[in-house]
Amino acid sequence: MRLETLAVHAGASPDPETGAVAPPIHLSTTFEHAPDGSLPYGWIYQRTDNPTQQRFEEALAALEHGESALLFGSGMAAGSAIMQSLPPQSHVLLPNDAYHGFRALAREFSKRWNLHCTFADFGDEGAIRAALLPNTALVWAETPSNPLLQITDLAALANIVHQHGAMLLVDNTFATPVLQQPLMLGADIVLHSVTKYIGGHSDLMAGALVFAHGRGALAQQAAHTRSTVGLHGSPFVAWMALRGLHSLPARMAWHNRNARAVAAALCAHTAVERVHYPGLPEHPGHALAARQMREFGGMVSFELVGGRDAALACASRLRLFINATSLGGCESLVEHRASVEGAHPMSPPGLLRLSVGLEHPDDLVGDLLQALSS
């Protein structure tokens, strides 16, 4: 079955009780069990597991070619769960440009959790090899990365990590399983902020982990962490996330098309110094992205000739692009990342990040041109 078909049908069999085509939402917190505690229906308590969530997990695991998946209350909860499921005293290696929330998590919480986290430049294989330690349990990659859209060679990285006896996690939030399937390239775990493209409408918050075949023990530990630490989501959000998965391939096709148009228009403009989009032939990761991704996605960053002031002025003149954080919704968003990255900004001061939405590309390009030219 092709991906578009799978996205519509995975986790979507009609309700056996009623024939309802859209799945029911089971809000029950508790499930009847036998007097001896055995589970005739397979469920016990919503925090541990529930039928609506399981539908979403089956669907996402199928789309990522994983053995199993777990839904969490947010992308951060999913990342916390995997960190808290590693053996004590493990070392975790992250890229310098990992999502800023995970950089904060690694900096501020790893010691409390008895972990050792370090960072390296993932554009440099030698730097990655040099940063691996005898107790490295997990290598954490993110490609395309946020906000510079840098591309990491996942197959090559998986080889290095496995030679070392560690596991590779890939944050696949920007690409989604529609554009990139890290488990097929050798990764062990995929992480999603479901809040973004999978939810797709800027109205739900959730995260997920998907585990490769053979990683069942880690999946079980992560499920135990989710339940015991309380990192679960809600059945209603699971239902909305499943609804998002059905239209994900169709939406991604429009995000790709619109982002290409936006990137091309920005490249041609004299007020723009640099455009970061892996779909551009001059992007340093273009050839690699063309190999390991199906398309280049809906995120575009660009730097203005006039630096910070020009970037803020442009962001204030945009009408269709809303100044807001997050990404992956129907509406286009713009963000001056350096202003929102807190005490340790990674983004160049003149950079604006765009989440290119589902509007008509001519309207989006028109809005950018008026904001750049006035």
Ligand X SMILES: *Cc1c(COP(=O)(O)O)cnc(C)c1O
Chain contacts with ligand X (rule: CB under 6 A):
74-76, 99, 101, 142, 146, 171, 173-174, 193, 195-196, 205, 207
Q: Which of 49, 153, 171, 367 is catalytic?
A: 171
> Catalytic residue at 196?
yes
Rounded to 10 deg, the angle between the 75-83 and 100-109 helix axes is 40
In the set 99, 153, 226, 367, the catalytic residue is 99
Catalytic site includes residue 111: no
Beta carbon nearer to ligand X, 94 or 371: 94
Q: Which of 261, 220, 263 is nearest to 85 (CA)?
A: 220
**Catalytic annotation, pick one of 15, 45, 47, 362:** 47
CA angle 208, 209, 215 (to 5 degrees): 160
User: Is the CB of 46 or the CB of 173 nearer to ligand X?
Assistant: 173
Closest distance of CB 350 from ligand X, Å: 21
CA distances from 238 to 70, 78, 139, 173 (A): 11, 14, 28, 17
- Whichever of 57 and 367 has its CB closer to ligand X, that residue is 57
102 phi and psi, to 5 degrees? -75, -30
With respect to ligand X, which residue has the nearer C-beta, 233 or 279? 233
Minimum distance of ligand X from residue 207's CB (angstroms): 5
CA–CA separation, 362 and 317 (whole Å): 17
In the bound state with ligand X, the residue whose beta carbon lies nearer, of 75 and 279, is 75
Least distance to ligand X, CB of residue 174, Å: 6
Which sign, positive or negative, has the C-alpha torsion 190, 192, 198, 200? negative
Q: Which of 55, 97, 103, 196 is catalytic?
A: 196
Separation CA 370–CA 374 (nearest Å)? 6
Structure tokens given for 188: 């062990």
How is residue 122 written in tokens?
């993932």
Give the H or E element holding residue 340.
helix 337-340
Closest CA relative to residue 6, chosen from 245, 315, 210:
245
Q: Catalytic: 47?
A: yes
Q: Provide, rounded to whole angstroms, the least separation between the CB of residue 77 and ligand X.
A: 7
Shortest separation between residue 98's beta carbon and ligand X, angstroms: 8
Q: Give the residue numbers marked as catalytic.
A: 47, 99, 171, 196
